[in-house]
Amino acid sequence: MDLLTALHAPGPDRRDAVVVDGRAFSYEELLGAAGAVAARVAGAPAVAVHATPTARTVVAVVGALLAGVPVVPVPPDAGPAERGHILRDSGAALLLTGAGADHPAAGGEPEHLPVDPDERAGFRAVDASPDHPALILYTSGTTGAPKGVLIPRRAVAAGLDALAEAWAWNAEDTLVHGLPLFHVHGLVLGVLGALRTGSRLVHTGRPTPERYARAGGTVYFGVPTVWTRVVRDAAAARELGGARLLVSGSAPLPTPVFHELARLTGKPPVERYGMTETLITVSTRADGERRPGSVGLPVAGVATRLVGEDGSPVPYDGATVGELQVSGPTLFSGYLGRPEATAAATTADGWFRTGDMAVIGADGMHRIVGRASTDLIKSGGYRIGAGEVENALLDHPAVREAAVVGAPHPDLGQQIVAYVVTEGEVGERELIDFVAGHLSVHKRPRIVVFLPSLPRNAMGKPQKKLLPPV
C-alpha cells in the first residue's frame, strides 16, 4: 500500500519540496536518500529511529516505509530506562541514527545504522498490505511501562485523507511546523501528511515565533505552548495573517490564546482531537465554525459516542459529561504483545474506549473536558470536567497557566484544587470567586496553589501527576 503518494506523483518537482531545519530536498532527492535507507533495512521486522527534528529523521522514516518495515520513533530525550524498554519491546532489528552517532550506543541495543541524507540509491517501493504496521508508537506510560501502539498503513492513509478533506489540504499549500518527530502530530500529520497531500513542508527545527513568521506558510501546526508564545510576539503573529489555517492540537488551547490569535492574525484557529491509538478523529473544518474549546465534528469515516459510567448513552445536550468512544478506519490494530490491554481498551461491539471525558452539543460539536483518570472530578454528587474549570481560570487576566485536579475530601468526596501560574497581583479568594461567577458555584476551586510553572511534557501537556500534593 503506497502511503506517500505525492512522492511518486507525476508533475513538477520543487527543489525545496521538503525543508527540515534549513536542509532542502526535492522529491527526487528525498526518494534517492530514502531509497538508500530502504535498501539496507528491507526485510527487517521493525526499525527504530532516533527521532531528532532533522532531515536525517525524515529520510530514515521514509526509507523504512518504502521498504514496508514498521518504524519505531525513539524520543531523543528518552532516558535510559524508557529508551531501553522501547528498543527491547518493539523488537527493532536496527536503530537508525545520525552519521555522527548522535546518541551513544548502550549495551543490549540493536545494531546502529547511520543515515546519511546525501547518500542516494534507487529502490522499488514494497507493496505492503494495508493491515501491515506502518508505525509502532509508544504511549507516554502514565499507567505503567509505555505500550507499543500498532498503527496499520490503512489507518495512516484513512486519517490523512480525512484531514485533507476537512482542511481542504492539498498540493497548493505550504505546511509549516517545528514539532517533535516522534508523535502523531509532528510525524504522522506534519511529515507523512505533507508527503501524501503533496503540500510543501517546512520544518522550522525549533517552533519559535520568529521562525514561524519567516516561513511563509499557508497551514501551520502548533501545540498550545507554541501558540501562547506566538501571541506574545504580536509582530510575529501578524505575519501569520496570510496563512489559510492555524491548527492547534495535542492539548486543549486556552480560550484567551484562541481569541488573541484570532485577533492578531484574523484567523480563528482550528482545533482537533485524537490519540495515538486513534490518530485524529474529530476536528473543526476549514469551511466550518470554530469555537474556543470545541474540537468540532468527526472526520470522514469516523463515528463517536458518549457513554456514562454504567455504559448507557449520554445525551448530546452540550452539558452532560460522558466518556468518548470512537469507531472507524483510523484506529490502531492493538498494543504490541499485549492482548489483554487491547481487549480492555475495546468494547464488546468494537469501539475504542478513549478514556477522555467530553460533552457533545445538539449540533454535534465536541468539547473535551479531560481524562477520566485525572480530570473527571466527583464533588458533592456532581461530575465536573477539570478542563472547564481550567478554561474559566485562564479567562482571568492575571492567570497564565492553570491545571485543575480533584483531591480527597471527607465530605464532598473530592474537592477541586487549582494550580496556577500568574502575572500580577491576584489572590486565592479572587480566583475562587471569579470561577464561581463564570461557572456553576459547585465548580469553583476550594484551594488555589500558586506555582512558578507547571510541569509539562515535550508536547506541552501539563503533567498533573507531578504537581505537589495539597
Mean pLDDT of the region 246-259: 90
pLDDT computed for residue 252 by the predictor: 83
pLDDT band at 269 (very low <50, low <70, confident <90, very high): very high
pLDDT 10s digits, 169-223: 999 999 999 999 999 999 999 999 999 999 999 999 999 999 999 999 999 999 9
Asked if pLDDT for residue 103 goes beyond 60, the answer is no
pLDDT digits (tens, 9 = 90+) for 294-326: 999 999 999 999 999 888 999 999 988 899 999
Q: Is residue 52 over pLDDT 90? A: yes
Q: What is the pLDDT of residue 102?
A: 46
Q: What is the pLDDT of residue 411?
A: 77
CA distance linking residue 313 with residue 55, whole number of Å: 47
What domains, with CATH codes, occur in the chain? 7-128 (3.40.50.980), 376-466 (3.30.300.30)
